[in-house]
Structure 1
Amino acid sequence: MDLSKAKTLLIIAFLSLNIFLGYKLWIAPRSLSPSSVLTQAQLEQTEALLKEHGFDLKTALPRQIPRLALLNVSRLVQDDAYWVSAFLGAQEVWSQRQEDRTVYTTGQETLTIFANGHVFYTNNLPGIDEANTRVLAERYLRDWKLWQNNMKLDLAVPWGQHGFRYRFVETYQGFPLFFSAIEVYLTDGRPREVHIYQVQPHGFSDKETAVISAQKAVQTFIKEAAAVSSKSIIDISLGYYSLSYDAERWESAPVWRIATQDGGESYINAFTGEVEKTTF
């Protein structure tokens, strides 16, 4: 091989490598920038603590203790016509304006759009011969044109005697936004209820701070665990959570979310260690 051809091949290989690495950086989740990790002894101590209080840990305990920043978000605003078209289509619709909401109904279906951005859909349509699966829930989301590529299934828990509740959350740079979600309640093959609240992420703030460890989050959870009915923990993960605010833009803090098999959840602020919300 002559020298000029060898140089050309090396240049092509170098450019290809740079393109590949740039692509990986573009699609990869935000780096966790770990400041430290839990030791094996700390993992075992945490698992023993849960067992001591009667909890069955059915998921891996996260080891990383990363540095994270606040996430800037705003409420995702859609006009009423968007939601009416998605859920009720071209049917004849009656509407009623109430204090903090507008209710649209077709007789068998009801769509309620709240001023704070929450959207509820319910129906009493006849059941169909379909299993109440995740695939069916996703199909409904696609039919309503609500499915997004950055969504993922977060929880699937029993609902009622034969139904299931599927919650799909938005993700941002690899992190689940637990408060930006669509919940589909399926029974008899029908989406009997749909609850929606979504935000628009606008990037992280500049300042990064080390979060508390999953071990410390579990210790806080144990203190609040008196009201927990299910003793099976199915998920411990790091993401973002916020209450809904009447503001154009606000900051969301990272949280440790601990979820039990019956759908109960505890959101623990990953900066302060305080409980943000529980649904037990």
Structure 2
Amino acid sequence: MDWGRAKNVLIYAFLLLNLVLGYQLWNDLREQADSNLDITALENNTQQAMDEKNIRVLAKIPTETPELPKIAYRFVDDTQTGKLTDLSVPVDSRLIFTPRDLTAALKDNLPDIGDYRYDEVASSADVFVLHPLVDGKWPLFKIELKLFNSNQKIISYQRRAIEISYPEEEKPQRVLSASKALGNLIENFLPEGSVVTEVELGYYGEVFDSDAHLPAAPAWRFMLESGKEYYVQGISGDVISPNTEKTKE
């Protein structure tokens, strides 16, 4: 037996094993860091509840707490509202990720497309979902503009046009922090094993047919890996789970 060659083979084998183990350790540490992203912003009892219920937070927890008013909106009496409308010229679906180019491409069909924002978590391969923006910044959740995609081209759209107003009696109020809203969810509402993948501030209003102005309040949206969503009203702190159509306090 060539002991010199055997010794070299063993050395290379140990080096390879160390590389594999080192990569596995680095990957485990990275996943652990990701799964605990921003949890230092949460109170101790919330972190304890996370451990007990095996809940992970993979989303960045926003620190902003702006002062926002409640708003009102109504559905505009438009002959095209709610109907599927074909685009005069199909648009490359890749433009959905470049808002400025998308606005330029769709402005003839949808002149106010710049007042909407793409919602990646609510979209699918065939349907892109956008929400109207309040003050050009905050998405009005549950109100949707849908762009239908086929063969990598946006070919049609569907929406219910709305008009937003600001009741004089509604004064801006400081919204609840995302960390407190999430803490309430973790401790009292989220099921075991939940994985929070997205946290965003916007507006939430009831969606039903009416000619009257409908109220909408600031709300934090929390998306889970399972696809379930929760909303926490930014002023009252009420928890809304549209999947069950039940409001909880």
Query: By the TM > 0.5 criterion, same fold?
Result: yes
8 Å contact 1:157–1:165 — kept in the other structure? no
Going from structure 1 to structure 2, the CA distance change for 1:260 and 1:146 (only over 3 Å counts) comes to: farther
How far off is 1:60 after superposition?
1.9
8 Å contact 1:179–1:198 — kept in the other structure? no
Q: Which has the higher strand share?
A: 1
Secondary structure of 2:166's match?
Answer: strand
Percent of counterpart pairs with the same letter? 16
How far off is 1:224 after superposition?
2.5
Going from structure 1 to structure 2, the CA distance change for 1:148 and 1:185 (only over 3 Å counts) comes to: closer
Q: Deviations over 1:204-229 (max 9, x none)?
A: 5442333322122113322332298x
8 Å contact 2:39–2:57 — kept in the other structure? no
Does residue 167 (structure 1) correspond to residue 129 (structure 2)? The answer is: yes
Q: AA paired with 1:252?
A: A
RMSD: 4.0
Which runs of no fewer than 5 residues in structure 1 stay unpaired? 1-39, 90-129
Going from structure 1 to structure 2, the CA distance change for 1:157 and 1:252 (only over 3 Å counts) comes to: closer
Written as runs of structure 1 = structure 2, the 5 A alignment for 1:254-269 is: 254-261=218-225, 263-269=227-233
Name which of 112, 118, 123 aligns with 1:153: 118
> How far, CA to CA, are the matches of 1:242 and 1:73 in structure 2?
9
* Aligned residue in 2 for 1:23: none
> How far, CA to CA, are the matches of 2:122 and 2:142 in structure 1?
17
Q: Deviations over 1:249-277 (max 9, x none)?
A: 13211111112345432122112221233
* Aligned residue in 2 for 1:216: 180
Secondary structure of 1:255's match?
Answer: strand
Going from structure 1 to structure 2, the CA distance change for 1:186 and 1:276 (only over 3 Å counts) comes to: same
Does residue 231 (structure 1) correspond to residue 205 (structure 2)? The answer is: no
Going from structure 1 to structure 2, the CA distance change for 1:143 and 1:195 (only over 3 Å counts) comes to: same
Secondary structure of 1:221's match?
Answer: helix
* Aligned residue in 2 for 1:110: none
* Aligned residue in 1 for 2:165: 202
> How far, CA to CA, are the matches of 2:242 and 2:48 in structure 1?
20
* Aligned residue in 2 for 1:33: none
8 Å contact 2:148–2:155 — kept in the other structure? yes
Going from structure 1 to structure 2, the CA distance change for 1:236 and 1:270 (only over 3 Å counts) comes to: same
* Aligned residue in 2 for 1:57: 57
Which stretch of the first structure deviates more once superposed, 175-184 or 249-258? 175-184
Going from structure 1 to structure 2, the CA distance change for 1:78 and 1:142 (only over 3 Å counts) comes to: same
> How far, CA to CA, are the matches of 1:144 and 1:71 in structure 2?
27
Name which of 13, 24, 45 aligns with 2:43: 45
* Aligned residue in 1 for 2:20: none
Which runs of no fewer than 5 residues in structure 2 stay unpaired? 1-37, 245-249
* Aligned residue in 2 for 1:68: 68
Q: Deviations over 1:78-131 (max 9, x none)?
A: 1149957x3387xxxxxxxxxxxxxxxxxxxxxxxxxxxxxxxxxxxxxxxx87
Aligned residues: 196
Which stretch of the first structure deviates more once superposed, 203-212 or 134-143? 134-143
Q: AA paired with 2:47?
A: A
Going from structure 1 to structure 2, the CA distance change for 1:209 and 1:145 (only over 3 Å counts) comes to: closer
8 Å contact 1:232–1:261 — kept in the other structure? yes
* Aligned residue in 1 for 2:144: 181
> How far, CA to CA, are the matches of 1:75 and 1:227 in structure 2?
39
How far off is 1:74 after superposition?
1.5
Going from structure 1 to structure 2, the CA distance change for 1:82 and 1:192 (only over 3 Å counts) comes to: closer
* Aligned residue in 2 for 1:274: 238
Q: Which has the higher helix share?
A: 2
Q: AA paired with 2:96?
A: R
Which of 1 and 2 has greater Rg? 2
Does residue 134 (structure 1) correspond to residue 96 (structure 2)? The answer is: yes
TM-score normalized by the length of structure 1: 0.54
> How far, CA to CA, are the matches of 2:120 and 2:205 in structure 1?
18
